[in-house]
Structures are given as C-alpha cells and as structure tokens.
C-alpha cells in the first residue's frame, strides 16, 4: 500500500492527492518502525584502533556474537586463536577459517581443539600453552562460548557429569584462566592485556545453588542465570587475583578483566531458546520473525560492546573489574557478586569440584586405556599363534560355519 500511495503522489502531485491522511499514516508507521529499530540496535563502537600484532584468544568464535567479534578484530589485523571443539582438520572449520581469512584479508587466524565441556581437554591445551618458554604473547582473551537449554528442554550433562550450563558457561572459564594465569601475569609491563567475560541480564534472577550444578535440572533458565551470576562473581575475583600479584619488575598489573553484556541478540542460542527446541516452535519463530528482527540485535550489533571493551583506549589503563553494556559502564544490580566471601566460597568450591572430577576422569581414562591395550594384545596374540602354526607346517583349524569347514564334512 505505501508503494501505491507514493506512486500516486508522484504522478498526480501532493496537493492534488485525495488520500493525504492515508499517506501521513503510512509515513508515521514507517517512521515509528525506523525509530524503534534504531533504539533496539543499541550503541555502536566508534573506535578506529588498529589491532596489528595483537594476539587474541577467543572461545565461541565460530557462530553468533563470537563470530562477529572475530571478524571485526581480524579485519583490523589481530592474530586470532579460535578455541573450538572441532578438530583443526574438520572440513567445516577448515572452510570457515579459509573464508574468514579471505573476507578479512588476514592469514593470522588459527584454531586449537579445546572441548569446553571436558576439563581434561582444557587442561591439555592450557598446560601446553603455559609450558612454552619464553612465555607466548597473549594480549586478549574473549570468552564468548555459551550454551542455553531450550525452554521446554532439560539441561544436558557433560562428559564429566556436570550440568552443561555450569560447565561451559562458567567452570570452563574458571579452569582455563586458572591455568593460564601465569602466562597472563608474565606479559611485559608495556603490554595491554584484557580478559572479556560474557554475561546476560538473566544473572539478576540467578542464585548460586552450587550443589545443583552436579545434576541436570529441568529449568534451563535457572541454570543459565546461575552460570552467569557465577561468571560475574569470578570475573571480579579474578581481577583481585591479578591485582594481588607482585611483579618481579615492580610494575603495576597490566591485565584487566571486564564483564560484557551484549543485550538481546538474534543468535543461534536465542533462536533455539525461543523455539523451545521444537519443530512447531521453530515454525512459530519464523512466522513471528519480523518482531524478533525489530526488537533483537543482530550478532554484529551485539558485538559492539565487546569491540568497545577490546579497543577503547580508556580500558587499557586504570582499574579493571568493570561491567560494560551499550558501550558504556553499568553498575551491577546484584552487588553480592562483588563480595569477597561469596567469591571465596565459589572459588574454593570450583577448585574442589575440578580436582575431584579430574581424578575421576584420570581413573576412567586409565581403565579405558588398559582395556584397549589388553584387547590389542589379545588380537596380536591370536595373529601370532596363527602365524607360528602356518610357519611350522600346521594347518589352521577351520572356522565353524566357513566354506572350508563345510568341505571337510
């Protein structure tokens, strides 16, 4: 209808147009939609910083907001290290990296296999990184990996037996940074090191019921909110951990942790949650897509606060431990996330949980390795016996049911 109205105005002239009110209504509707879209898009990062020479480690960098952050930083010259559960030789990952290199004109994009749902996989990678001498350069760690159970689903369990939201959204970050801490603190004093944590406004309703993390709950929203509140508590505690370190050169700490809230975005995780993980839910999401297009940000729009925290000069100096949303600082609505007692309890619980699960995982891997070795020796023993029998002129006994056995009858 607006197109036909505009065509009539163009042909007959505005003053000879009889449906002036209809035209005014159409213009008003379009104007409201545009204003709403501009409002829901949120703030935009205006930094023009060049990132050449910067080494950036990213989790969750192959989809959603993480992919948008990676593309923007890579286009500015940063060296990207993607931590992904895919093997570096996986066809999807190979094609993704090749496309990203071509799009950004940056060949310094690599991938490391790190399964964030496995504590052992995280330890293997992080230990290898820390053991390097001299310490490898590391300018930034961006933690974008998240998992969210659909509204009508039950939270999944990881290979370590933990709730998926707790393990991937929080405990993987705790485990990774705990091991990488020496590498972070060993960076030269003139290097600007930043660690970006991901959060969501759902943390406001979260509770740190730590015992519930060892079982899969029926409420994905509750477990997601708990993991985000834990991430924020750990982020402030980790900043204090970095500040408490006394450098050998007596220089102040140059590592700063920031908490990023990207807002509500049209990511694969959000789509899965809105659709409830159901076919009819996905159909309903597609039918109502214009609404979600209007009120939800695109991944690149959601990435703006990450880019602001990663590139703005202001956050390369001063104190860390700040929350950034819509490209500006926000105050926490759950101040207990900054309490030392709460952080201490969470830190100690996380350490004990990881220690116990790592021991159980080591025993399980040892038993599997032993069983595989016994099976291999058994197969090799049978092959060796057959070879010795044939070499000594003996004839191998026919297998029951084989053609040779039937001929013998």
Catalytic residues: 228
Strands (E), 103-214: 109-113, 140-143, 193-198
Q: Which two tokens stand for residue 222?
A: 């509750």
Chain centre to alpha carbon of residue 271? 16
Q: Is 255 helix (H, G, I), strand (E, B) or coil?
A: strand
Radius of gyration of the chain (CA): 28
For the chain, the residue count is: 409
The secondary structure of residue 52, as a DSSP letter, is T
CB 270 within 8 A of CB 297: no
Chain centre to alpha carbon of residue 29? 38
Q: Which two tokens stand for residue 122?
A: 């995280």
**Which stretches of 205-267 are DSSP H helices?**
220-243
CA neighbor of 358 nearest in space, from 170, 181, 161: 161
CA angle in degrees (0–180, nearest 5) for 164-293-302 = 55
Contacts 24+ apart (CB under 8 A), 229-232: 229/203, 229/334, 229/337, 230/166, 230/169, 230/170, 230/206, 230/346, 231/169, 231/170, 231/173, 231/197, 231/198, 231/199, 231/203, 231/259, 232/197, 232/199, 232/203, 232/259, 232/323, 232/332, 232/334, 232/337
């Amino acid at each position: 209808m607006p197109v036909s109205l505009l065509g009539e105005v163009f042909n007959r002239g505005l003053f000879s147009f009889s449906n002036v009110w209809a035209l005014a209504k159409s213009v008003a509707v379009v104007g409201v939609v545009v204003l709403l879209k501009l409002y829901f898009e949120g703030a935009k990062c205006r930094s023009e910083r060049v990132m050449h020479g910067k080494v950036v480690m990213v989790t969750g960098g192959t989809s959603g907001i993480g992919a948008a952050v990676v593309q923007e930083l890579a286009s500015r010259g940063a060296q990207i290290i993607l931590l992904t559960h895919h093997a570096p030789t996986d066809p999807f990952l190979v094609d993704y990296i090749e496309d990203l290199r071509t799009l950004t004109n940056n060949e310094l994009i690599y991938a490391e296999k790190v399964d964030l749902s496995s504590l052992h996989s995280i330890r293997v990678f992080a230990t290898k990184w820390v053991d390097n001498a001299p310490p490898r350069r590391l300018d930034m760690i961006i933690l974008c990996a998240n998992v969210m159970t659909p509204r009508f689903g039950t939270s999944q369990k990881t290979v370590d037996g933990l709730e998926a939201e707790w393990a991937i959204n929080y405990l993987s970050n705790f485990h990774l940074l705990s091991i990488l801490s020496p590498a972070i603190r060993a960076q030269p004093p003139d290097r600007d090191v930043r660690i970006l944590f991901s959060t969501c406004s759902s943390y406001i309703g979260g509770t740190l019921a730590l015992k519930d993390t060892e079982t899969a709950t029926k409420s994905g929203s509750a477990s997601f909110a708990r993991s985000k509140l834990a991430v924020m508590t750990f982020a402030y505690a980790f900043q204090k951990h970095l500040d408490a370190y006394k450098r050998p050169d007596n220089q102040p700490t140059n590592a700063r942790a920031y908490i990023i809230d990207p807002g509500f975005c049209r990511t694969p995780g959000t789509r899965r949650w809105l659709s409830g993980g159901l076919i009819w839910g996905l159909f309903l999401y597609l039918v109502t897509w214009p609404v979600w297009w209007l009120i939800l940000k695109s991944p690149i729009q959601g990435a703006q606060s990450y880019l602001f925290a990663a590139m703005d000069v202001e956050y390369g100096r001063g104190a860390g431990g700040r929350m950034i949303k819509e490209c500006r600082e926000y105050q926490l609505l759950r101040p207990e996330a900054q309490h030392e007692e709460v952080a201490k309890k969470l830190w100690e619980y996380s350490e004990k949980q990881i220690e116990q699960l790592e021991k159980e995982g080591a025993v399980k891997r040892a038993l599997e390795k032993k069983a595989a070795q016994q099976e291999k020796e058994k197969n090799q023993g049978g092959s060796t016996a057959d070879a010795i029998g044939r070499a000594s002129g003996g004839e191998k006994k026919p297998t029951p049911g084989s053609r040779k056995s039937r001929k013998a009858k």
